[in-house]
Every structure is written in structure tokens, then in C-alpha cells.
A and B are shown apart, each in its own frame.
Chain A
Amino acid sequence: MRIIDCHAHPIFFENGKTKQEVDKLVSYSKSLGIEKMVCLGDVLVYGPNPNAQQLRAINDDTRQLMAWYPDFFIGFCYLNPTLGEKPLQVELELCVKAGFRGIKLEMSNNARDAVMTPLMIAAEQYALPVLQHTWNSLHKQTRKINSDPIDTCLLARRFPNVTVIMAHLYSFGIRGVLEAQNLPNLYIDTSSCLPFAGLIEYAVEKLGPNRILYGSDIPIRELGQCIGRVIGSDIDSKTKEKILYSNAQSLLGIA
């Protein structure tokens, strides 16, 4: 079983930073078949609205992980769209030069906000996928910063030339899957929350097998549980292989 984990935070609230801790995580992950892990950064360590210096520090940590394990970690550049175009361009350029392969967005704003435009134009220029934290936020105050699946899908619709990864299937659930239909530039990931039955099967039925990516959200979640929810789902083995590995392989251009 080969796995690419598309949603991981190897460093979380400053934990997991030492070489020894990273060695342990990589070794354990490999023992489960994980060949590569997308490192999204320590995204909440400075709260939901980090400044440029804080973003740099978070992305530097990711750079360090990539330097230690260049064949294992894939960096996504963590950005805050509310900081404006210039700081965003500077940080993104640095990350691209360092070999980052995507952009990570958390909870600094809603995906439907106008501040997203420069970021999405930059993503298109660099041909980088944008992974957007997405949570069921309908009728909730938190929607100002927590993108509902409606918002993330709107973002994908507005920028059809950018690949958008809508994170957290187990939060956005059935409603999010239905929103994601007919959006060929939108992928979903299986990360986070508890492994309630039926959702992966439903996502495959509605979206087909090619736009679903395996993700864990480690260390918030246990890797075994996250893998088990895919391998234990009632879908064919070829589709499991696509979700666990080959969809991400194609998307991230892994040889």
C-alpha cells in the first residue's frame, strides 16, 4: 500500500520540531506505507491572522523539514491573504524558490473575500494548488474566517484555472460533496474529524474517483485511524489506490 498524505502538520504548536521527533514521525509514517507527506505548517501557532514575520517563521520550519527529508516532505507555503499583495508575493516567491509545491490557507479570512484575488492570480502564475481549510460554517459567526464548502467551491468557480483543494471531508460532509460537483479544478481531502461511515463512498459516487485525496491532519488525528477510514470503506481497490496515492501523485507532479 502506497500513500501520499496531503494534509499534515508535523510541527504543531511548536511540538515536533526537533530532528529526533521528525525522524520518529518519518520512520513511523513510512512503516504505514506513507511515502510522502504534505507539510502545511504550524498554522495556528500565532492565531488565525499571522503577520508576515510569523508566516516566514512557519514556512522556515517547513523548509527545515524539507531539508532534512527532501524525498519525504512536500512543502506548502502558508499565506495570509489579508496582508495584501506585496507581502504575499515576497513570501510566495521565497517558497517557490525553495521548492514548495502548493499554498495553504487557514482561517485568516473567508475564501469568498476579495482579498483572495491577488493570491489566486499568483497561484495561477506559479501553477500551484491552493489548499483551503474548510469547515461546516453555515449560519455560524465563525464563517467570517472559517470557509464553508459553499465559499471554497465559489472560489474554485471564480478561478477555474487554479486547482483548489477543499480540506476536511468529515467536516463539510454530504453538503460539501454536493457543492463540489461539476468543479473539475476542485479536489477534496479526507482529513480530520472522526471516521463516520458512508462519506467516502458518497464522495466517490458523486465526484468520481479522481478528485479525492487522502489526508490525515496529523497530529490532531491518529494516522492509523485516518488510513483505516479509506481502506475500510466500501469502494473498489483501484479507487482506494487513487485516493491514497495516485491522485496526489498526478496533482503534485510526483514522478
Chain B
Amino acid sequence: MTFVDTNTSYGHWPFALLPKQTLGQFEAHLQEHQIERALVSRLETIFLPDPDRTNRDHIRACKRLDNLSPVPVLNLANRGCLQNLEEYRRMTEIKAVKLYPNFHNYSLRSTRVSRLTEYLAAKEIRLIINMRMMDERHQYHGLKIKGVSTKQIISYAKRFSEFPFLCTGLYQPEMLAIAEQCPQVRMDLSFADSHNLINGLIETINPEHLYFGSHAPLMVTKANTYKLETASIPTTLKIRIARDNAKAFFKL
């Protein structure tokens, strides 16, 4: 079974013991785990007040690699993000952009989020909202950032009910709470975990809205591929979640 990975990052995370890799090595690592295509953002963009230069470097670096689709990170606390995005689109085909509202300290209720949503809808670019990078209970004390609240996601999704988007890093109860109220929201499985997980999720969530996400390199890649490979669900459903749902949504 092969995977399309909707939740990967490349770069340095100062709070974990991870091996240093080139982007090419990272791509090879994903391929070793049968990840045929990955949406990749740069980790450093989370900590930079202006991620623009890092996004451009990342787009250029991804051009040399066939299986990585760069996902620029927009800091909507800053003016000028849409102009930056226009520039990224001139550099390459942008399938999606990513937001980290809690790291960059803005609300999904802001006018800039509304403008971005309208822009993305018009240009048929997908939006990824990241809820969290770590389990809040075990964050290093030097970096404690709360996850985006489900209330914010639900409120945003209801305001733009015709606009489907992907949330990454949701816990299982959050997935169920959001899906009940906002059927257009797509979700990755990286932070969802319990025995018989997927059978439990699909009682509430449309299986076409579940996507594979490894959260590599912060999580052990094999942990998330194996979670899906060993799930007690039909193979056809596994393949949809592993690959086909994301392929269709992101037009990969």
C-alpha cells in the first residue's frame, strides 16, 4: 500500500532529538515508508515572524525533488501574505497553503483569514490548518503553545460552509466534535489514536474526509503508516484513506 502524506515538515525542531537530513534524504525516508507523495512545509516558518523568505527557499528546493509538494506557511498576523502567495504561485504550482494560528498569534475570525479564504476558493488552492505540533501535555517547558480550539475551527467552518479544508493534528474527540457540526472539514489521522480507531471514527465522519498524515519527522513515520496498515477495515477503505482521498482533494 502506498501513501499520500498530508502532514509533513522539513527542517529543525529544537525540542526533539532528530537526525539532521537534507531535503533529498527526507524525501528518501518518506519513500522508504511507501509515501509516494508528500505535502511539505518548513518547520522554521513556525518560529519566524515573517516566513516569506523560508517559503521561497523551500519552494526552490522542492523543485529539484519529484515527490514533494511545497506548502507555504502564511503568517496572517502580517500584512502582505496574499502578495507573497501570488509570488509563490509564479514560482511553482501551489496545491495548498498552511496556517499555524496559535504559533503566529492570530484568530481565525480575522478579516485577513476571510480574505485568504475567498482568494483560495477563487484560485482552487486548498487550505490546511494545523491544530498542534506536539501533545500539549508533554511540551518542553520552554515552548508551551495550546492547540487551536475546536470552537474556533467550528466557527470558521460554519462561516465558510462551502469551503472544504484540511485540519491536521486533531485528537480523536476533536475530530468527532468538528465532524458533527462541519461536514466539509477534512482531517488527518496523525494525532488520533485509540484501539479500533478508524471503525470508531467512520461512525461519525465521512471516510472520504479522512487522510493519512505522518507528522514526520516529529513523529515516527512507521507508527502512522503501520496504524493504517494494520487497521481492521476493508483494504479499499485503507487505500482511500492512505492515498486516494488526498490525491483527489489536492489534485495530485
A residues near B (Cβ < 8 Å) are: 28, 31-32, 136, 170-171, 173-174, 193-199, 201-202, 218-229, 231-234
Contact = CB atoms under 8 A, between A and B. Distances in A.
Interface in B43-93: none
B220 interface: yes
Interface string B220-241: 1111111111111000000000
Given A224-B229, A234-B19, A218 B195 contact: yes
Given A197-B217, A222-B193, A225-B223, A32 B230 contact: yes
Contacts of A220: 193-195
Interface in B17-44: 17-19, 33
Nearest to A174: B17
B122 interface: no
B145 interface: no
B182 interface: no
Which 5 A-B pairs give the minimum distances between C-beta atoms? A232-B222, A228-B226, A224-B230, A219-B195, A195-B223
Contacts of A223: 195, 230
A198 B219 contact: no
B125 to A, nearest CB: 30
B100 interface: no
B221 A232 contact: yes
Contact of B193 (A28, A174, A194): A194
B interface SS class: loop
A170 B217 CA distance: 16
Nearest to B222: A232
A197 B218 contact: yes
A232 B194 contact: no
Contacts of B138: 136, 170-171, 173, 193, 196
Contact of B191 (A194, A197, A224, A227): A194
B227 A224 contact: yes
B197 interface: yes
Given A196-B134, A198-B18, A229 B195 contact: no
A228 B218 contact: no
Interface in B179-203: 191, 193-197
Interface string B123-166: 00000000000110110000000000000000000000000000
Given A171-B137, A197-B16, A234-B19, A221 B223 contact: no
A189 to B, nearest CB: 16
A198 B17 contact: yes
B222 A222 contact: no
Given A193-B135, A232-B220, A227 B226 contact: yes
Contacts of A136: 137-138
17 contacts: A170-B138, A194-B191, A195-B223, A197-B17, A197-B216, A220-B195, A222-B194, A222-B195, A222-B231, A223-B195, A223-B230, A224-B230, A225-B223, A228-B222, A228-B223, A228-B224, A229-B222
Contacts of B225: 228, 232
A85 B56 CA distance: 67
B228 to A, nearest CB: 7
B220 A228 contact: yes
A195 B220 CA distance: 6
B219 A222 contact: no
